[in-house]
A = this chain, B = another copy of it.
């Protein structure tokens, strides 16, 4: 049994993770910790979550765990990662702290000085399917952001097979449910402000997930063009749908691109390529770890629609998938 600890168990990703781990047959939850709710039961905060007493973040005994999951705001769990790794405890960090490969970039995008820049090169970016082999021996996993997961998974086979045309920008028009914005009460997340509304935010190249996506894309192909990214806030609690406009070299046909994708992903339990003429929807993926996508070639633009549940494949589910990979457990174990 893997002895797992969870930090930040009361956020939306943390609660989802605790729920998944509580029924995972190979996991013992050693502790679920919270800074602000220690002493309460998790299901007093999330009525559907398991009945687990929350520990004080500052008082848990790291050594009791084989693995800890960090579900904390950016910059606030770095010291825990450092301490855990020193004790030989593996770390899967769901925040952005170890996703960027460069402390200066981190400072620029997240505003904080990185406390452990020496760990950045050790961290494995936990996009499970493309990075499975690196994950096997990972001690520190930087679990990907929700938008990047929805975008990178369908693009990966296109990029590594040099099908895209690098003379035009890649345009990503993403729509996310509200849980992606976190659980803290904020004016723009008030039910009355969101219900019946729909709006874009951080348009162009200003969202923090832009450097994360571009870094990963450049690892796959340094000639990749700039990304244009428009996130929108959907009036739904969960789910992300990204509509991706990918410039394609002339001469590629939809069926050949479809073949590339299906050959890459045919054995993947959590990737589902839809038949021609079908499009991704949130209904395909809610409450599951699946990433579903449809493709449509229009002129020399490939239009990909890609959907995930932001709290599962976009956060807690992919974290558990990465844990399964690290420990050599069946990759679907505990996941649906």
Identify the A interface with B (CB < 8 A): 12, 23, 47-48, 168-169, 171, 173, 175, 177-179, 183, 185-187, 189-201, 203-205, 226, 228, 230, 232, 234-239, 241, 243, 245, 279-288, 292, 296, 298-299, 301, 303, 305, 336
Contact = CB atoms under 8 A, between A and B. Distances in A.
B282 A171 contact: no
A83 to B, nearest CB: 30
A168 to B, nearest CB: 6
A196 B236 contact: yes
Contacts of A236: 195-198, 235
Contacts of A296: 203-204
A175 B175 CA distance: 10
Given A203-B279, A298-B228, A187 B185 contact: yes
B191 A47 contact: no
9 contacts: A47-B284, A177-B192, A191-B193, A191-B235, A192-B237, A192-B238, A203-B305, A228-B303, A232-B243
Contacts of A195: 178, 191, 195-196, 235-237
A45 to B, nearest CB: 9
Contacts of A282: 196-199
Contact of A185 (B173, B189, B234): B189
Given A12-B192, A197-B281, 18 more contacts: A48-B286, A179-B192, A183-B190, A185-B190, A189-B190, A191-B193, A191-B235, A191-B237, A192-B237, A196-B286, A198-B281, A198-B282, A199-B282, A200-B279, A200-B281, A204-B296, A205-B298, A232-B243
Contacts of A237: 191-192, 195-196
